[in-house]
Amino acid sequence: MSPNGGPAARPGPDDLRRTFEAVPARTSDADGPFAESWWGRAWVEALESLSMDEGRLARGREYADGGHVAAIAVTPGRVIAYVHGSRPRPYRAELRLRSFPASDWDTLLDAVAARPGHLSALLDKEMPHSLVDTAGEAGIRLLPAAGDLDPDCSCPDRGWPCKHVAALCFQTARLLDSDPFVLLLMRGRGERELLDELGRRNAEHSARERPETPDMPSVAASDALADRFLPPLPAPLPVPRYPGEPPSYPELPGARDPLGLDHLATDAAARAHTMLTTGDDPLAGLSTWQDAVRIAASRPTAGLTATTRALYRELAFATGRSTTDLARAVAAWRQGGAEGLGVLETAWDPPAGPFDRARPALAAADFPRFQPRRNRLTDATGTLQLRFGHDSRWYGYESDPGEDDWWPRAAPDPDPVAALTALRG
């Protein structure tokens, strides 16, 4: 079994073949939902819409509950397992699912890279509704529908599907529960390949945005100072008007990403320049969590490189948060800085005034009714929300239907009507 309770997997060559050990029979809650995650249940719903025989489905679930499904092999476009039936020799059950062509993968990867929250959720072995919606907006159906599944079995039953393939489908829902990358493998790409490709795309973008600098030869400090007498230090130079650009770092075997060093050096140079010119530390008032969010938010926004993913994990671990918490906080920081982060994390009771005038203004603009709760206004669908900040600005938030999973969206605005218009548009 895997650490999160799902079936243990053995990766194959190039991460394009994964074999999951057989799952033992369920001894309790056999009548409950077969899949726990919403995407696992969506897989079961696709199976149920495919079948024309409820009896075969019920028998297939009994087979899956009874531990009749042997090890499952997942490769691009296929899920295969041997299922023990009424005869001594097991039947070979197979389920085929259409793999995405290269053009669809390019579109999907660009969409995922554009929203860090998607990748953070995948790293936490979750598949957010917003990721499926983003893929759908790009014309890509990530989760299968009835017409996408093509069953086959070596048994003589011509059912569509037979009970052996139905058992395989139910067991596959368990695999998806523990790891949504299984679905992406069925669609044609392995986990390592996907993460590396997302990192490469962002690295290429960062390289295009960064100005070219000539190669700088490096000399070890011990060689430069060997057998030399050091004169007294000269008087300090005048403080430049702007922080200088950091040097170009050579790529050394085993060294960290030069772009990551560039980022940290640029941040330190800007902070040092402010301290030299004003005598004040601009980050003195930030908590450890706020500073961690600030550092993560200053990374490039076109996607997550391998260095950025490692940075997110390290910052999340150091602050006792999850990578999803950090990604949400980064979105709030980019929306409104420290005040935006405060709006995300703290509800408060605003005094009488602008907050009370917001609902009549929204109603006059023909927007639907909003329900107030402390400093927040939520629409009847539970998908849009305006939050009133201490800076008297309205911050837009969005959630998937039926989910209490709010993410910052759009720029804040002192006018609630303008803030909601930006959120909806």
Number of neighbours of residue 214 by Cβ within 10 angstroms: 5
Number of neighbours of residue 137 by Cβ within 10 angstroms: 9
Average per-residue pLDDT for the chain: 79
Domain ranges within the chain, ordered by starting residue: 9-201, 258-346, 354-424
Query: Rounded to two decimals, what is the model's pTM?
Result: 0.46
Cα atoms found within 13 Å of the Cα of residue 423, Cβ hemisphere only:
27
User: Average pLDDT of 149-168?
Assistant: 85
- Do 57 and 48 form a contact (C-beta atoms < 8 A)? yes
Residue that is written with structure tokens 């011990």 in the block: 222
Residue 237: pLDDT band (50, 70, 90) is: confident
pLDDT of residue 391: 92
User: Average pLDDT of 151-178?
Assistant: 86
Residues with Cβ within 8 Å of residue 180, at least 6 apart in sequence? 37, 39, 122, 125, 126, 127
Three-class secondary structure of residue 368 per DSSP: coil
pLDDT of residue 32: 60
pLDDT of residue 178: 81
pLDDT of residue 352: 78
Residues with Cβ within 8 Å of residue 202, at least 6 apart in sequence? 113, 300, 302, 303, 304, 305, 308
- Do 135 and 142 form a contact (C-beta atoms < 8 A)? yes
229: its two tokens? 């007498």
- What is the spatial distance between Cα 377 and Cα 355, in angstroms, rounded to a whole number? 9
Question: Which residues are paired to 80 by β-bridges?
Answer: 73, 94
Is the pLDDT reported for residue 77 higher than 80?
yes
Which has more confidence, 290 or 206?
290
- What is the spatial distance between Cα 231 and Cα 184, in angstroms, rounded to a whole number? 63
State how far the alpha carbon of 347 is from the alpha carbons of 128, 247, 292, 373, 376, in Å.
24, 44, 22, 9, 8
- What is the spatial distance between Cα 266 and Cα 272, in angstroms, rounded to a whole number? 10
Sign, CA torsion 218/223/224/230: positive
- What is the spatial distance between Cα 19 and Cα 8, in angstroms, rounded to a whole number? 8
Question: How distant is the alpha carbon of residue 35 from its chain centre?
Answer: 21
Which of 342, 419, 337, 350 lies closest to 385 in space, CA to CA?
419
Is the pLDDT reported for residue 27 higher than 80?
no
